[in-house]
Amino acid sequence: MLARSWGRVLGVLAVLVVLLVVAVAWRAASEAPPPTRIARALATSISLPGRPPVLAWPSEGEAAVQVEGVAGAFASSGARAPVPIASVAKVMTAYLTLLAHPLAPGQQGFKLTITPANVGEEGQRVALDQSVLPVRSGERITERQALQALLLPSANNIAWLLAEHEGGLRAFVARMNETAKRLGMSATTYTDPSGFTPTTVSSASDQLRLARAAMRLPVFAELANERSARLPVAGRVLNYNALVGEDGYVGVKTGSDDAAGGCLMFAKRALVAGRTVMVLGVVLGQRAGPLVDAALFSARRLGDSAARALRMETVLPAGSRVLDVSAADGRRTFAASAQAMRALGWGGMSVRVNVAVAPSAKGNRVRAGQRLASVSLEGIVSPSVTAALATRALGGPSLGWRLSHLF
């Protein structure tokens, strides 16, 4: 009788043990394991293959050059010190005028009326050997015509006329300096709207910042690319920038006087690997011969050499390791780039690499071929984005690992 009772007790205990084991195993199997761990395996920047280019820098003065849209394609030479910039200052005058009074294609904008005082001022500037636009009392000049006079024959009298129209000389010069500060032009001080005074100073690198901003205004870019224009009284006027219309040059502005030497802010379109890019540059303080000619010569050599140095190179081959992925039990896989990525720039230029992890990558299982991230490069690249795909599957942790981490 007693033996029979113990048998029943042991039977019940055995059943309970089995149920406990089943419950524990079920819990271990159903418990959500920790998510996979993801670590970036790709560098934050990659250098384009090849050596940095040897650009045709001027032997004197300051210079700077950049490829628009390519963050690393920037270089400069010279002291980067504030120096007189002569009529290159008129770029800021034109830029501010267009910011305040934008022009659509074909629009003429506001009108200026020439007064007897304006005519007298023109004569005084001619006596000082300044560049001017001939004007007549009672004549009406549109905003577009004023900007043409400013950018092509570099008319000092029109620069001052625009400043007076925009709230007076003092207020306008203050706006010039405020805008320079906003653009990061820390070596720049404007004291007049034309650049005639030698106290209007800047650096090549600073003026390059302004070139980028100004050339993004379609009407400014259009006007700076005109070889000539027909204006009231003066008739046909020519652009002092003789590079315009040649070999892809599309602007921007000359400047010259004894204090500044020859200066030029320039823009050149270049075709590289089927893409049109804009090379922007500035040369200041050129004195090897007639000043404007010296600036044009130096700018052409620099712009052409910068364009020749550009190329499209593969910086991220297909199959490059992008992410390392590991499960809680130590098993690993990785994500690789699905396509090769090419970037435009110069040899040795650093290209920034961005990796955005997909939300679906943060679960506890990974499928082979699953998109775990997107990869993009900064600048002009092809393709602009590629996927990072898991090279093999990564299931959840084993039952043994689950049991060992159950309590």
Q: What is the pLDDT averaged over residues 317-339? A: 91
What does the pLDDT read at residue 363? 76
Are the beta carbons of 202 and 191 closer than 8 angstroms? no
CA dihedral 36, 37, 40, 41 (to 10 degrees): -90
* Secondary structure class of 327 (helix, strand, coil): coil
Q: Which residue has the tokens 């159950």?
A: 406
Task: Give the tens place of pLDDT for each residue, 85-137.
Answer: 999 999 999 999 999 999 998 899 999 999 999 999 889 999 888 999 999 99
- Does domain 74-309 sit in CATH 3.40.50.720? no
Give dist(CA 321, CA 227) in Å, integer.
Answer: 52
Residue 17 confidence (pLDDT) above 50: no
Q: Which of 16-25, 281-290, 314-323 has the lowest mean pLDDT?
A: 16-25
Mean of per-residue pLDDT scores for the chain:
89
pLDDT confidence bin for 8, thresholds 50/70/90: low
What is the reported pLDDT for 403?
46
Q: Strand (E) positions, 220-368?
A: 228-231, 235-238, 249-257, 261-272, 275-286, 311-316, 321-326, 332-337, 341-345, 350-357
Q: Could you please report the per-residue DSSP string of 97-111?
A: HHHHS---TT----E
Domain boundaries in the chain? 32-48+315-404, 74-309
pLDDT at 47 over 80: yes
Give CA torsion, residues 71, 74, 79, 80, to 10 deg: -40
Q: What are phi and psi of 244, to 5 degrees?
A: -60, 130
* CA-wise closest residue to 344 among 250, 279, 249, 263: 279
